[in-house]
Structure 1
Amino acid sequence: MNKVVKRTYSYYFLIPAAVIYLVIFILPTVMSFFFSMTRWTLAEWEFIGFQNFATFFQEQSLSIGFRNTFVYAVVTCGLKVVLGLLLGVFLTSGLKTKGYLRSVVFFPTLVSTIAVGIAFGMMMHPTQGLLNTALAAVGIPGPDWLGNVRIALLSVALVDVWKGVGFATVIYIAGIMSIPEEYSEALQIDGGNAFDKFWNIIVPLSRPATNAVIILAFIGGLRSFDLIWTMTKGGPGFATDLIASIIYKQYQAGFYGLSTAGNVILFLFVTLLVYPLTMYLNRKEVDL
């Protein structure tokens, strides 16, 4: 009986967290699903079933938005994984200034995304921007970074990587530092070099860190909005339109029910991509 009482008593400590989770996550999620099937304003609502979903899928730029969202997520996720791993290895070496360099690499993560978007938008101006001015100084004609439909999405993705790679690097630093020194010592005895250590020890044994970076960066890429909107507002044309920016345009136009349905679709889209990816990565994970 005492064990049952103790077990029940311990559950009481979960109540505050459960209430917060219910209010902040579960309740808004349920309300979003409900209001996605209504035509609503702040004062009234009308139930219309799945009409909002049918209308949203008729959006002319939706197919471009899905494609751009997936490409943007893959590019930013892939670059953050590769650069984060390389920077993590570099910043766990014997450098005397590695503490300072870690701060420098992580600093962009702390800067407001809106501020970053405004700053890089000015730097990428085709005639007055810092990037093209620097290129012109060495005789290289600079492109229209944000006005060229072929490179606009990639330009914003590179800014996203610059801002977010510091977070990925911190995760990799923690993962690399958790690898036992015995592996490196055994490799030295066998005559292995720095590349052998990187390829045969760091890469496989930092897989938990890699999995975390992949999941976080991929979700962030799929949900990205603020940087895109600050730098291009989805232009030129629909070249950088993501699902989130399409949804925001619906909000701006006053179609609140339609945009809510778009948010539900985005939630399901992210879930359908991330859940199987998470299951696959977890199966591949190496236990230290």
Structure 2
Amino acid sequence: MREATTSPAARRSGRARGSAYPSWFYLPAAIVYGVLFLFPTIASLFFSLTRWTLFEAEFIGLANFEQFFREPFLVKGLVNTLIYGVLTSGLKVVLGFLLGVLLTSQIIARGYLRSVLFFPVLVSTVGVGITFTVMMHPTTGVINETLALFGIKGPGWLTDPSLALISVALVDVWKGVGLATVIYIAGIVSIPQEYYEAARIDGANSWDSFWNITLPLAKPATVTVIILSLIGGLRSFDLIWAMTKGGPGFTSDVVASVIYKQYQAGFYGLSTAGNVVLFILVAAIIVPLSGFLNRQGDEP
């Protein structure tokens, strides 16, 4: 009898109980996602199989991919991409965590220091690249001139083939560590203070609290920083191009700069195939890594 008297509104409410909003609320986001991501992705896959210009496209199958993998400096670019991604993400994780711990402690001018540390994130990447290119000049740069005051001969930061990629990576870390620190600050301040109070009652010192409370409970922030910084490192282009353009020679080329050079030469289909390869490379690294890190983070 109760089922027969249930109103249509109540039945609709019961069916929709799994979601707080009607399904059509998701339509604007779906449209934006389709226009800005799905359509460009599908278009890139199509044009990677063609030899195209602005006015025509000729289907050539996998020829662009075959030619891309015969690119003489592709292997060097792949190796540099992996080195750059791992180096920048690793340093951002370590420095971001240490700075996050420091800036959540009771130090003087904590708010001001947070603002100063985050400021480089807001600055244009190209502007940062041009500024550090001047500062790292082997003879007139302020860095080597400062070292000369102490009797130290500064290296060619961007002209030495063995240092160019590392030098750009360090600038990338300087620019991006502020965002990693903010993520860690949010993660650390969300840890309940009751854990630290209980540890102090049990006789734990600062190191014990750091090692057994802060470090493990900040794991979600660590996962976020690793994923975001590694994606950024593997896809990096603008800072490298602004500082070295892949030089000296091809020693600091990454996959993205190889793709851009092909585009500059007018090989549009080839450069599009390179973008697809870069997308697959990033996805092949990030998706399993994200799953692994999230499983580790869920473990007690």
What's the TM-score once normalised by structure 1's chain length?
0.97
Partner of 1:95: 107
Give 1:149's match in structure 2, choosing from 132, 143, 161. 161
Please state if 1:132 is matched with 2:144: yes
Within-5 A mapping of 1:190-201: 190-201=202-213
CA distance in 1, matches of 2:119, 2:211: 28
One-letter amino acid of the counterpart of residue 36, structure 2? I
Secondary structure of 2:253 counterpart: coil
Deviation at 1:4, TM superposition (A): 4.4
Any conservation in 2 of the 1:79–1:161 contact (CA below 8 Å)? Answer: yes
Runs (5+) with no aligned partner, structure 1: none
Give 1:262's match in structure 2, choosing from 271, 274, 281. 274
CA distance in 2, matches of 1:285, 1:247: 36
One-letter amino acid of the counterpart of residue 34, structure 1? F
CA deviations over 1:184-240 (Å, ceiling 9, x no partner): 001111221221111111110000000000000000000000000000000011110
What's the TM-score once normalised by structure 2's chain length?
0.93
Partner of 2:220: 208
Secondary structure of 2:58 counterpart: strand
CA distance in 1, matches of 2:211, 2:91: 18
Partner of 1:119: 131
Partner of 1:246: 258
One-letter amino acid of the counterpart of residue 20, structure 1? V
One-letter amino acid of the counterpart of residue 261, structure 2? K
Partner of 2:78: 66
Please state if 1:272 is matched with 2:284: yes
Secondary structure of 1:233 counterpart: coil
Once structures 1 and 2 are overlaid, which stretch shifts more, 72-81 or 9-18? 9-18
Secondary structure of 2:160 counterpart: coil
Deviation at 1:103, TM superposition (A): 0.2
Give 2:62's match in structure 1, choosing from 44, 50, 53. 50
Deviation at 1:96, TM superposition (A): 3.0
Runs (5+) with no aligned partner, structure 2: 1-7
One-letter amino acid of the counterpart of residue 160, structure 2? N
Deviation at 1:286, TM superposition (A): 4.5
Any conservation in 2 of the 1:207–1:286 contact (CA below 8 Å)? Answer: no
Once structures 1 and 2 are overlaid, which stretch shifts more, 255-264 or 4-13? 4-13
CA distance in 2, matches of 1:257, 1:87: 45
CA distance in 2, matches of 1:237, 1:194: 50
Within-5 A mapping of 1:178-197: 178-197=190-209
Partner of 2:5: none
CA distance in 1, matches of 2:70, 2:221: 40
What's the % identity of the aligned pairs? 62
Partner of 2:175: 163
Partner of 1:86: 98
Please state if 1:219 is matched with 2:231: yes
Any conservation in 2 of the 1:126–1:144 contact (CA below 8 Å)? Answer: yes
CA deviations over 1:170-192 (Å, ceiling 9, x no partner): 00000000000011001111221
Aligned length: 288
Deviation at 1:112, TM superposition (A): 0.2
Within-5 A mapping of 1:219-238: 219-238=231-250
One-letter amino acid of the counterpart of residue 228, structure 2? L
CA deviations over 1:56-80 (Å, ceiling 9, x no partner): 0000000000000000000000000
One-letter amino acid of the counterpart of residue 175, structure 2? K
Once structures 1 and 2 are overlaid, which stretch shifts more, 9-18 or 178-187? 9-18
Q: Structure 1 segments of 4 or more deviating over 6 A? A: none
Deviation at 1:151, TM superposition (A): 1.1
Secondary structure of 1:285 counterpart: helix
